[in-house]
Structure 1
Amino acid sequence: MTKSNVVGRRALLGAFAGIAAVSAAPVFANAPGLLTGAGNIRSIKISNPRTGERLDSVYWVEGEYIPQVLDEINFIFRDWRQNEVHAVDVRTIDIMAAAARRMETSEPYSLLSGYRSPATNRMLRSRSRGVARNSYHMQAMAADLRLSTRSVQNMYDAGVACNAGGVGRYGRSNFVHFDCGPVRTWRG
């Protein structure tokens, strides 16, 4: 199933474009300083190479998340192995959006792993020492991401600059992990 912008979101975008250009960036209440430069309109571009699904949507306008877009995000982030959908913690999406803006990229993130059911996490953990037993993926608070136009180091640096959540750099596997847990960094 392919998801895309709808007319209503375009109308919202147009209505608030002038405000976004002159307003200061809001501060995310649960993570101070997270969205420096994020603007009053937040959008996200994601593709899931496992399912072929794509999303390019405004998900937040003037302090309000758009529930229909969050439903689309939850769907694309689902555990495709078990076909389980879980509500994604919006702080993770905010970190992704802020990092994309810092990198000045319009390329969609390639989502390698979003929500993972406990069964999927156990299976992946049995195959790799790099999978955490109590992974934030199981709480829908994490994303493993790749961009073809940005290096792993560039993505890592953008995530670290957000100063919110965990940022892991996996150079050999060519992806970066973002989560909305405690602020910390690592290299895998």
Structure 2
Amino acid sequence: MSNARTGETMDTIYWIEGRYVRDALSEISFFFRDWRRNEVKQIDNRTLDIIAATHRLVDASEPFMLLSGYRSPATNAMLRRRSGGVARNSLHLKGQAADLRLSSRSVAQVARAAASCGAGGVGRYSGSNFTHVDCGDVRSWGR
């Protein structure tokens, strides 16, 4: 995975033989941090599982580009002031959501794969070229 905002990349194995790898989860949470405020929150394992399953389903060789992972309340409020598409109680605030992009796949392809997991929310943001995935209630929106 690459972080679109910080330029960092990571290729971390977070699950081995039926167990989450604690150090890897900490590394992932740092990678998913609110880069504007340099704040870290534990990323929900269910979100990571949805992302990993989605990547397998789209059968892409390139890593996802992370546009947004955890957002602090201050960052979320700032983004809400700038855009009508940012939820007041976004699951990004809980470390339960990610906005992702694959240059080799369309938003529709990524969204279809994520939705086929039947495990959370999937938002299509075709105009901005990214797909939102989260581990909340199963639902979908966007084009």
Q: TM-score range by the shorter chain?
A: over 0.9
1:165 paired to 2:120? yes
Question: Where do 5+ consecutive residues of structure 2 fail to align?
Answer: none
Q: Which has the larger radius of gyration?
A: 1
- What's 2:57 paired with? 102
Map of 1:1-188 to 2, 5 A cutoff?
46-187=1-142
Q: TM-score, normalised by structure 2?
A: 0.98
Q: Distance in 1 between matches of 2:54 and 2:132?
A: 12
Structure 1 runs, 4 residues or longer, greater than 6 Å off:
none
Specify the code of the residue in structure 1 equivalent to 2:136: G
- How far apart, CA to CA, are the structure 2 residues paired with 1:160 and 1:76? 24
Q: How big is the shift at 1:107?
A: 1.1
* Structure 1 gaps, min length 5: 1-45
Once the two structures are TM-superposed, the CA of residue 52 in structure 1 deviates from its matched residue by 1.0
Per-residue CA deviation, residues 79-123 of structure 1 (Å, 9 max, x unaligned), is 010100000001000000001111111211110000000000000
**Number of aligned residues:** 143
2: distance between equivalents of 1:49 and 1:102? Answer: 22
- The SS at the match of 2:43 is coil
Greater RCO, 1 or 2 (C-alpha within 8 Å, sep 6+)? 2
